[in-house]
Each structure stands twice: as C-alpha cells, then as structure tokens.
C-alpha cells in the first residue's frame, strides 16, 4: 500500500521512523545498495532544532532552519519518504502501524522519535506556557511576543502595559538561556525604534531556574559567566526558584505572583509518548533503555536512537540528549546494519558497542555572547560566540540554509536589526503561518 514503484523490493527492508538528526544521519550514512529504506515522518521537513529559538525571537525565518526531507535524500536510491503518523508497533510481527489501518513490514526498524516538552506532571500548564519543540511552537511564540508589543503601543492602562511588556522564561538550561538572551536583545536593540508610544528597552525579561545556577550541566565558571552576561543584557535571573502555579497571564513563585503576557516553558524534556507503544522497558522520562549496540532489548532488529533513549555507553558514560550524540548514533546503527547485511547476520554479542565522542558543549546568550566547553578548554564571550556560530553553520542541512543563515546573522550583527518580524495568522485560532 505504501511502497513506491521506484524502490527495489528484492532487498532487505529497513523502516526509519523520524527524520531528526539520528534518523536522517542514518539514511545519509547507510549504503542504500544493500537495503531499501522507507522513511516515515509526520512532518515533511527536517528541523534544525538548535536554532529554533531564533525563529521564536524573530532572528531567523522558518525556512532558514528547515529543509524538506525529500530534497535532502533525493539522491539516495532504494529510498522512499512517507509523510504519515505512526500509531503503533508490532515488534513480534515486525510491522509498523501507520495512520488508521495501514501497516508496513520491516526486517530492521530504526527509531528516532525525539522528545517532547515535559511539564513535570503539570500538563495543564501547557496552554499558558508553551514549550519550544517545533516550527509551529516557534511561530506561535513569535507571533504572541510581537502582538503583545503592538497591543502595548495602544494600551492606556499602565499596569496592563507593563504586563504586555513582560516576558518570563522558565528553565535555565541552554534553551532557556538562549531564549532569555534573545528576548533581551529583541526588546533592547531591535524593537527600540519600531514604536512611538512605548519604550521597548523598558521591557522586563525574567529567567527562572529551579536549581542553584543556570546552565547546571556546564562547569560552575561557565555557568557564572552566562549569568553575568545575561544580567548585563538586562535579564533578571532568579535561581533556586520553583514555579508553583501557572495561569493565563500569571505565574506563582514562593511569595510572589508575576503578571506577564508571555510565559515560555523551557524547563524539561521527555520522550515521545509513542515509545510506550513499543512494549519495552522505559525509564521515568519515558525513554527506551537500550543495549550498548543501540538495539532494543529482546529485539536485535530494532534500533532506538537519540533523545528517546537512555544509554550508558561502553566507556560508562551517560549519553546526553544532544544533536552530536544523535548524529553519532545514527551513523553507528547504519554501520552495524550495513555490516550484518553484507556479511551475513551475526549474533548480537558480536556487534560493536557504541561510544559517545564528546565534541564539547556550547550555549549562545546574545550578540557576541556565549559560553563554550571543548575538552578542558573553557571560554566565553566573543570567542565562544564565534565558535558557536561556526559549529552551527557546519551542521545546518542544505547549502541554501547555510548561506541564508550566514547573511541573516551578518545583517543582524552589523545593523542590530532582525528581518523576521512579520506577524501573520492573527485571525483564526491556529498557529501563525509565517515564513
């Protein structure tokens, strides 16, 4: 039902669910003369998630960080792409359930389902504090932020105007820090000259983190540097604070209720709920506990990769939920399966165990502001920002995207302006349809 006439049916069949970093790199790495591959994703595009916050803060357009999956893989023979919703699995029968009643059989299954925003048991907060995991999320946040300032321009009540010009970011990890810094830049250097009746430089940007410091996964010196850089930009950083309630336009923290037109959630990630349909052991965050060769226990033909997994590698290192790890896992699984097909199936004990190669960690804060850790080298400010920029350009998928992003960043850096401030989709209840 789903098979394309251009794909050979005489080869072993691999089904790849999810075209994120792990799934896409699997397809790009795997020699498709050894098997036919069916890629299934509910979106038609691959999203470069590390730059998603720049779409949400009007720094980049959606098309700068997304590329059609078909365009990326169109040079791969024996590979087809299906845009569909996976609804379940029958691992015993080796079938993937798609849509209402569709099924696709496989010899190998590669899962790269990614993660979703976690509200730590308070899913009711989602309607008041959106997370940032998709282009729709980013466009919705951008529209809401820009509309708040438009409404503030004509608001006569001073208290309501302050609420409209208040942005709260919950979560002091990389996503929260990047959002808070970008919002501070947006209000203080970009929107400053756009309005006549309000002063956007007086906008209030708060970053709330439950642990004692921001960027808790970074060394203490880089964490402190990040906080200093944020505060110099005008961000109010509050650490050791836990949110107790979120309602429409307000949140509660110990001893205080904060009114804000925009509350953004960047505090937690959990695995896709679809992992529960696998019928295998999961951790508390819903991630699949996989074996060192990246396969699912009891199912050596099923591989799980990226954010949806919990793994300690062969060097006893916990593999982080970062894009470099997902890319490496995709390549490792591709090599394993390609070898088994080429040389005949081996017992799972003969498979090579995966080892994570740490290439460092970075977080950008704003224009010429970032922190970076590469090996034992810690640095911050402009050098870290240059390193961050170079790394992200290298990993962007598609030549056009790299040129477009480079031009946008150069323009923003030299002029303090951002070119993605068009508001669309104001009428209707759906997400913004912005570019």
CA distance 225 to 264: 23
CA distance 168 to 144: 13
| 30 token code pair | 């795997």
| Integer-rounded Cα radius of gyration of the chain | 23
Q: Which residues are catalytic?
A: 178
| 391 token code pair | 């790394």
CA distance 12 to 158: 67
| 316 token code pair | 């006893």
Q: Please identify which residue in the block is written with the tokens 């590469």.
A: 374
CA distance 141 to 118: 17
Overall size of the chain counted in residues: 435
Q: Please identify which residue in the block is written with the tokens 């799934």.
A: 23
Number of C-beta neighbours around residue 318 at 10 A: 10
Q: Please identify which residue in the block is written with the tokens 């999203």.
A: 47
The residues facing 37 across adjacent strands are 14, 79
CA distance 427 to 414: 34
């Amino acid at each position: 039902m789903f098979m394309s006439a251009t794909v050979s049916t005489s080869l072993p069949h691999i089904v790849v669910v999810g075209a994120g970093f792990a799934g896409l790199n699997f397809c790009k790495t795997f020699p498709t003369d050894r098997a036919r591959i069916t890629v299934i994703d509910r979106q038609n595009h691959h999203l470069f998630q590390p730059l998603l916050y720049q779409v949400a803060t009007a720094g980049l357009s959606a098309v700068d960080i997304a590329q059609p999956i078909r365009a990326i893989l169109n040079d791969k023979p024996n590979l087809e792409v299906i845009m569909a919703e996976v609804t379940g699995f029958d691992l015993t029968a080796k079938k993937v359930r798609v849509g209402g009643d569709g099924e696709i059989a496989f010899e190998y299954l590669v899962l790269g389902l990614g993660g979703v925003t976690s509200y730590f048991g308070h899913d009711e907060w989602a309607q008041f504090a959106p997370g940032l995991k998709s282009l729709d999320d980013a466009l919705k946040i951008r529209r809401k932020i820009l509309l708040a300032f438009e409404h503030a321009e004509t608001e006569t009540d001073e208290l309501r105007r302050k609420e409209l010009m208040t942005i709260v970011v919950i979560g002091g990890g990389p996503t929260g820090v990047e959002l808070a810094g970008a919002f501070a830049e947006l209000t203080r250097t970009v929107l400053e000259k756009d309005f006549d009746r309000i002063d956007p430089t007086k906008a209030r940007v708060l970053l709330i983190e439950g642990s004692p410091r921001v960027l808790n996964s970074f060394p203490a010196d880089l964490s402190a540097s990040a906080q200093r850089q944020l505060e110099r930009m005008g961000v109010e950083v509050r650490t050791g604070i836990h949110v107790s309630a979120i309602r429409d336009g307000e949140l509660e923290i110990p001893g205080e209720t904060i009114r804000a037109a925009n509350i953004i959630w960047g505090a937690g990630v959990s695995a896709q709920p679809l992992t529960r349909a696998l019928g295998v052991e999961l951790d508390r965050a819903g991630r699949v506990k996989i074996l060192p060769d990246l396969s699912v226990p009891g199912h050596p033909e099923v591989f799980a990769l990226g954010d949806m997994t919990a793994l300690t590698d062969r060097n006893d290192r916990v593999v982080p939920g970062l894009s470099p790890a997902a890319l490496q896992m995709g390549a490792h699984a591709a090599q394993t399966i390609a070898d088994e097909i080429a040389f005949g199936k081996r017992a799972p004990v003969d498979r090579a165990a995966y080892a994570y190669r740490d290439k460092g960690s970075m977080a950008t804060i704003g224009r010429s502001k970032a922190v970076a850790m590469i090996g034992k080298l810690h640095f911050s400010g402009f050098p870290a920002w240059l390193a961050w920029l170079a790394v992200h350009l290298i990993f962007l998928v598609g030549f056009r995207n790299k040129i477009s992003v480079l031009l946008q960043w150069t323009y923003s850096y030299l002029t303090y302006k951002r070119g993605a401030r068009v508001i669309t989709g104001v009428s209707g209840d759906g997400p913004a349809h912005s570019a």
